[in-house]
Structure 1
Amino acid sequence: MNAGLYGVGTDVCDLRRIAQAWSRHGERFALRILGPAEQSVFAARHARSAARGIAYLGTRFAAKEALSKALGLGLHMPMSWQACEILNAPGGRPRVTLHGALADWCAQRALALHVSISDETDTAVAFVVAEILPTPPDRSA
């Protein structure tokens, strides 16, 4: 495969809907959407401020929806809510961490994933670019 663009995905999420889902389902909703490392971050943020916890949950929801669109998979295997986590690098930049079959699927296609997320009072938005990495030249000849 040649280097270049594999796919682009975007998602806009109404944080009021996320808050309603949290009210109805509580921890079960967060466990469905978030991976293990994300769950720890969510718990700490939600304990400090319920609104910041909901915003975190909404941005991760939006980012995973955008990722599923960029990959062209929707929420079908190997893509699942827990197969990817959106975590912050030490400087705060969000990054995609993949697990299991989804990590293998992306590695087979030599994909690099780039994510941007943002939120305001009632809205979260995410944008994902899936890039095909260049194949190194064959030096065996």
Structure 2
Amino acid sequence: MIYGIGNDICDIRRIRASLDRHGERFAARILCEAELTVWRARSQRWPERGVRYLATRFSAKEAFSKAIGLGMVMPMTWRACEIVNLPSGQPAVRLHGPLAQWFGERGLRCHISLSDESDYAASFCVVEKMNEIGL
């Protein structure tokens, strides 16, 4: 059963402007430690790729927060929600701390899709409530 659906579109130019104004402090506010490591590596090799990485993560976390119905209100925080790539390349959500507990207590699971093109990053998220037989 669908628990919630969220989508988000993010203007990459806005993310770039925030990075220009606030530097790494802005990225550190949005990304957890593992994501920051990836962002730094991508930014070092090709700065534009780092901006796109940050924009897709920003968009995905926004879409996720909408799908669970919390927005950016505790236990949902930027850094408690990590966007990872499975070995297949498929994006997935990994949760930490109180948000992971909140999500687990409700028997939820998440599907997320991200995309970026020129000036925009977009994400779509579906959160399901698993039934008693494990869906």
2:61 alignment partner in structure 1: 64
Deviations 1:12-31 (A, max 9, x none): 00000000000000000000
Give the C-alpha shift of residue 136 in structure 1.
Answer: 2.5
Secondary structure at 2:88 match in 1: coil
Q: What TM-score do you get using the length of structure 2 for normalisation?
A: 0.97
Q: Among residues 50, 53, 62, which one is paired with 2:50 in the alignment? A: 53
Aligned residue pairs total 134
Q: Which amino acid aligns with 1:67?
A: F
CA distance in 1, matches of 2:16, 2:54: 9
CA distance in 1, matches of 2:41, 2:111: 25
1:41 alignment partner in structure 2: 38
Q: Among residues 8, 14, 17, which one is paired with 2:11 in the alignment? A: 14
Q: Among residues 100, 103, 106, which one is paired with 1:106 in the alignment? A: 103
CA distance in 2, matches of 1:114, 1:27: 29
Q: Which amino acid aligns with 1:64?
A: K
Give the aligned CA root-mean-square deviation in angstroms: 0.9
Stretches of structure 1 that go unaligned for 5 or more consecutive residues are none
Stretches of structure 2 that go unaligned for 5 or more consecutive residues are none
Q: Which amino acid aligns with 1:111?
A: L
Deviations 1:50-69 (A, max 9, x none): 11100000000000000110
CA distance in 2, matches of 1:51, 1:133: 39
Instruction: Look at both structures and tell me which one has the larger radius of gyration over its CA atoms.
Output: 1
Give the C-alpha shift of residue 48 in structure 1.
Answer: 1.1
Q: Among residues 80, 86, 89, which one is paired with 1:89 in the alignment? A: 86
> Identity of aligned pairs, percent?
54
Q: Which amino acid aligns with 1:74?
A: G
Secondary structure at 1:115 match in 2: strand
Check if 1:76 corresponds to 2:56. Answer: no
Deviations 1:98-138 (A, max 9, x none): 0001000110110001110000111000011100112139x
Q: Which aligned segments of 4 or more residues in structure 1 are displaced greater than 6 angstroms?
A: none
Deviations 1:59-97 (A, max 9, x none): 000000001100000100000000110011111110100
Secondary structure at 1:9 match in 2: strand
CA distance in 1, matches of 2:96, 2:128: 18
Q: Which amino acid aligns with 1:42?
A: W
Check if 1:5 corresponds to 2:2. Answer: yes
